[in-house]
Amino acid sequence: MTVVDAVTETRDRARWLQVAHEAADDLATDAVVRDQAGKTPFDEVSRLREAGLLSLLIPVESGGGGADWPTAHAVIRTIAAADGAIGQVLGCHYLLSSSARFFGGPGLAARVERESAAGQWCWGGGLASVEPRLTLTPGPGGYVLNGRQGYATGVLVADRLAVRADHSETGEPLAVLVDARRPGVVAGGDGGDTFGQRLAAGGSVEFDAVAVESDAVLGPLSSDDGTMSPYAGLSAPTGRLVSAQICLGIAQGVLAEAREYTRAADVPWRLDGPSYGSPRNPYVLTTYGELTVATFSASALADQALEALDCGLARGEDLTDDECAEITMLAAAAEAAAAGAAQDVTARALDVLGARSAASAYGFDRFWRNVRTHTLCVPVAPRLQEVGDYFLHGEHPPFALPF
């Protein structure tokens, strides 16, 4: 990369981060009200679309923003700080809209990206290995998709769904692109009754004899027998770091709002006992210090993993299995650290705010609820096992996309 290219990249990243901050400020103004209402986030997705954030990762020549993954991850964290559920919608959109780039050839990826940019598609779905499986059966002019996916992120607002389906004859798992408005696609809103991430637009989706064109099969998802290239394998750590950014964004969001609340508290500090609302109380200062250190530490690890991922993506098809394993291990560690920090921060921040902060008007509870719901859907225990196995035995982490 030349100096001119580096300067241009820095300017582009700064421009997109400014756009993200403006969108986040807009979302933050009514975040509590929207969380309590729990409505399907059509308006929120429209705000992201109008800001140009949905096509952020698509190359300029295909009609997109031309940004890189480090920029996209920074945008996810910024949006998640204002609204964790919308951060999840956007993060999953970025991951799923890159499916053709990871699992298909350059020509297929370019076509899908052009169409996505032209239609300003919002992507939803999920490619994780879960039961029951969808079935893709060869039919006239392509395939027929049948089955039910128990949960798909963004399914209620998506224009296109990227889902995992098994070929009916070979059993091979495939990434498939489906028009969400096609006859036979029925989305259920049963994902909106969770106590957190209410605006993630998730739920079940049924496919009843849905027609799928041959060129809508994006590529294989099997890591057996060398079917998947190391580059395609980078989709897993990319997704892990999306999850980490969601957690870190929520942690940073609650700290920012708690700080403003504490600064505004009019409670005198006294030496003879704790006055939790006082910004000069030693307990308050120590707790904020601990939570800030936890967040900074997890952020630093995520940045290290993201730098490794960016280098891996730049290597393209020259990437080796060992390099992919190292990046995957770093991403797994970063996701685990971010989840742990976010759970700790969102719970303990309430300790220094006092009982009056429990009023529903403040909405401080939404940060804990959102993180806890997210980490229940994306548990970190398997990631810790993978990190331990890699450290102890050098075992390559298995290919596993986030739920």
Furthest-apart CA pair in the chain: how many Å?
81
- Domain for residue 403, yes or no? no
Phi then psi dihedrals of residue 256, to 5 deg: -65, -45
Among 177, 209, 225, the domain boundary falls at: 225
Distance CA 59, CA 116 (A): 11
pLDDT for res 271: 41
Phi then psi dihedrals of residue 74, to 5 deg: -65, -35
| Residue 284, both tokens | 């308050």
pLDDT for res 354: 83
Contact 81, 246 (CB under 8 A): no
The answer to whether residues 243 and 340 belong to one domain is yes
Distance CA 317, CA 16 (A): 28
- Domain for residue 209, yes or no? yes
- Domain for residue 74, yes or no? yes
Q: What is the pTM of this model?
A: 0.93
Distance CA 245, CA 256 (A): 16
Distance CA 210, CA 186 (A): 10
Contact 252, 342 (CB under 8 A): no
The answer to whether residues 362 and 233 belong to one domain is yes
| Residue 4, both tokens | 């001119």
Distance CA 364, CA 373 (A): 15
pLDDT for res 194: 81
- Domain for residue 271, yes or no? yes
The answer to whether residues 231 and 132 belong to one domain is no
Q: Which residues of 248-260 are buried (b: 16+ CB within 10 A; e: fewer)?
A: bbbbbbbbebbee
**Helix or strand (DSSP H, E) at 166:** strand 160-167
pLDDT for res 191: 61
Among 188, 205, 225, the domain boundary falls at: 225
pLDDT for res 6: 59
pLDDT for res 57: 97
The answer to whether residues 363 and 293 belong to one domain is yes
pLDDT for res 357: 87
The answer to whether residues 218 and 243 belong to one domain is no
Distance of CA 3 to the CA centre of its chain: 32
- Domain for residue 25, yes or no? yes
| Residues contacting residue 173 through CB under 8 Å, at least 6 positions apart | 129, 133, 164, 165, 166, 167, 220, 221, 222
Residues, the chain: 403
- Domain for residue 187, yes or no? yes
**Helix or strand (DSSP H, E) at 138:** strand 134-139
Pairing type for strands 142-152 and 134-139 reads antiparallel
The answer to whether residues 370 and 241 belong to one domain is yes
Instruction: Count CB neighbours of 286 within 10 A.
Output: 11
| Residues contacting residue 303 through CB under 8 Å, at least 6 positions apart | none
Give me the helix-helix angle, 84-97 and 365-377, nearest 10°.
Answer: 30
CA distances from 286 to 289, 321, 322, 351 (A): 5, 44, 42, 12
Distance CA 105, CA 100 (A): 7
Range of the domain at 186: 123-225
The answer to whether residues 231 and 168 belong to one domain is no
- Domain for residue 402, yes or no? no
| Residue 249, both tokens | 């964004």
CA distances from 297 to 59, 190, 245 (A): 32, 36, 13
**pLDDT tens by residue, 112-134:** 999 999 999 999 999 987 777 89
Q: What is the CATH number of the domain that holds 344?
A: 1.20.140.10
| Residue 313, both tokens | 């993506």
The answer to whether residues 96 and 157 belong to one domain is no
DSSP 8-state assignment for residue 90:
H
Instruction: Count CB neighbours of 171 within 10 A.
Output: 10
**Domains: count for the chain:** 3
The answer to whether residues 128 and 65 belong to one domain is no
The answer to whether residues 337 and 363 belong to one domain is yes
Q: What is the CATH number of the domain that holds 217?
A: 2.40.110.10
pLDDT for res 226: 64
The answer to whether residues 245 and 386 belong to one domain is yes
Residue 132: cis peptide before it, omega within 30 degrees of 0: yes
pLDDT for res 370: 95
Burial class (CB in 10 A: 0-12, 13-18, 19+), 214: exposed
- Domain for residue 143, yes or no? yes
The answer to whether residues 143 and 255 belong to one domain is no
Distance CA 278, CA 146 (A): 59
Q: pLDDT 10s per residue in the chain (403 long)?
A: 555 455 677 889 999 999 999 999 999 999 999 999 999 999 999 999 999 999 999 999 999 999 999 999 999 999 999 999 999 999 999 999 999 999 998 999 999 999 999 999 999 999 987 777 899 999 888 999 999 998 888 999 999 999 999 999 999 999 999 999 999 999 986 665 788 899 999 989 999 999 999 999 999 998 775 678 999 999 999 999 999 999 999 999 999 999 999 988 754 444 444 455 555 788 889 999 999 999 999 999 999 999 999 999 999 999 999 999 999 999 999 999 999 999 999 999 998 888 888 889 999 999 999 999 999 988 989 999 999 999 999 999 999 887 6
Q: What is the CATH number of the domain that holds 22?
A: 1.10.540.10
